[in-house]
Amino acid sequence: MDIELKKETAAVKKNFDFVNTIRCISMMGIVFEHSHIVQAPMYNTIGDTIVEAGVIQFFKFSTVAFFLIGGFLINHKFQEYSAVQYLKNRFKNTVSPWLFWMFVFIAITMLDRCVAFFKGSDGGLMFTNFWAYISDFVYRVLFFSPYWFILNFLICITLLLVFKKYLYKYWLGVFFGLISLVYSVNLYFKWFETTHTSALFGFVFYLWLGVYLNRYYAEVKKFVKETPWLIWIFCLVITFALGIGESVILIKLGSKDAYNTLRITNIIYSFVAFGVLLKIGNIKILNRLKPRETTFGIYLLHSIVIERLLPLIFQPLKLDVEHYNVYENTGLLVFRFLIAYSISYLLSAVLIKTRMKWTVGQ
């Protein structure tokens, strides 16, 4: 290992607490976004729409931040391991847990449908054409649920490994950046499907950028540190407002994906939010949550908690969310988030202390 590589590896280890802080906050944001009880957008007045957009926009940096952190952490590993060794380790720590919890999610859902059927509910395709039902359901879980982002992440990593020889070339970043920009523009022109599942290569740029941040971390850290707080806060507020504004415009244009992560304003907001978190550095109280050990487990578990457990709590309440105002539904969103995150965290924290710790990966 040469001197430059040793320095890069040491830099990652030295600043691991900073990584954990962003990882922890970003995961909270992802669970928060997925804890919604109503399908946005749903309000008719501009005031309510702006409030709704603001609530959603607040944590909308989370996905981009996660890909940046992912690239930041894998930079030195790309140098230490061959492509085959790296993918082998990745399968053990990522793919196996991912497949396990997807299977659990599918099994629990099918059990729920069986119980509903024997209680008199219509079984639908599950009992008239089982294989058609299960294939369609697996497809939806794999490509239209939060589990899709794990597959997307793995595809992004594989692409970086394919271009490993050119990893630090500017033109590679420009190429990946243009691909991401296509998805941003597509929200307006609708050349192809705008949902996140169509953005198969839309997040590679942020993983690559994370690699580059790791390589030039000293320079980046110096820039962030020397830039006054007033400028950072000003940029954060402005980009936050622009993100809301773009969502409102997309809603007026009839977009069904007005809060898409790859909106150009949200990309800029995500970069600024990442810089702010980098400037804040390590938040010691978050270390008690052990984000390095529990974060992936929280991600794998929160879909099951939200989709299978929360309905058992909220459906009996018969909440008329379609007629609640934006503030009431925001309160419900926060309440659901607190339940979903707490349960997902506790389950992950318990599992890492047992023989089943492999199911929450690294």
226-256 pLDDT tens trace: 999 999 999 999 999 999 999 999 999 998 8
Torsion of CA 288, 291, 293, 298, to 10 degrees: 110
Q: Is residue 323 within 8 Å of 312, Cβ to Cβ?
A: no
**Range with the lowest mean pLDDT among 28-42, 49-63, 219-233, 268-282?**
28-42
pLDDT at position 2, please? Answer: 41
179-199 pLDDT tens trace: 999 999 999 998 887 776 667
Q: Is the pLDDT of residue 1 over 70?
A: no
pLDDT at position 208, please? Answer: 95
For the chain, give the mean pLDDT: 88
pLDDT at position 161, please? Answer: 87
- Residue by residue, DSSP assigns 166-214 as GTT-HHHHHHHHHHHHHHHHHHHH-SS--SGGG-TTTTHHHHHHHHHHH
DSSP-derived letter for residue 68 is H
77-124 pLDDT tens trace: 777 777 677 777 777 789 999 999 999 999 999 888 888 777 776 656
The whole-angstrom separation of Cα 41 and Cα 270 is 21
pLDDT band at 9 (very low <50, low <70, confident <90, very high): very low
State residue 252 phi and psi, 5-degree precision: -65, -30
pLDDT at position 196, please? Answer: 60
pLDDT band at 11 (very low <50, low <70, confident <90, very high): very low
pLDDT at position 85, please? Answer: 77
pLDDT at position 126, please? Answer: 72
* Residue in the block written with tokens 């952490």: 73
Q: Is the pLDDT of residue 320 over 70?
A: yes
The whole-angstrom separation of Cα 54 and Cα 32 is 13
39-65 pLDDT tens trace: 877 888 999 999 999 999 999 999 999
For 70, the enclosing helix (H) or strand (E) is helix 62-80
Q: Which residues contact 10 (CB under 8 A, 6 or more apart)?
A: none
pLDDT at position 307, please? Answer: 94
112-171 pLDDT tens trace: 888 877 777 665 667 777 888 888 889 889 888 999 999 999 889 989 988 888 989 999
pTM of the complete model:
0.90
Q: Is the pLDDT of residue 343 over 90?
A: yes
Percent of all residues in the chain with a pLDDT value above 90, rounded to a whole number: 62
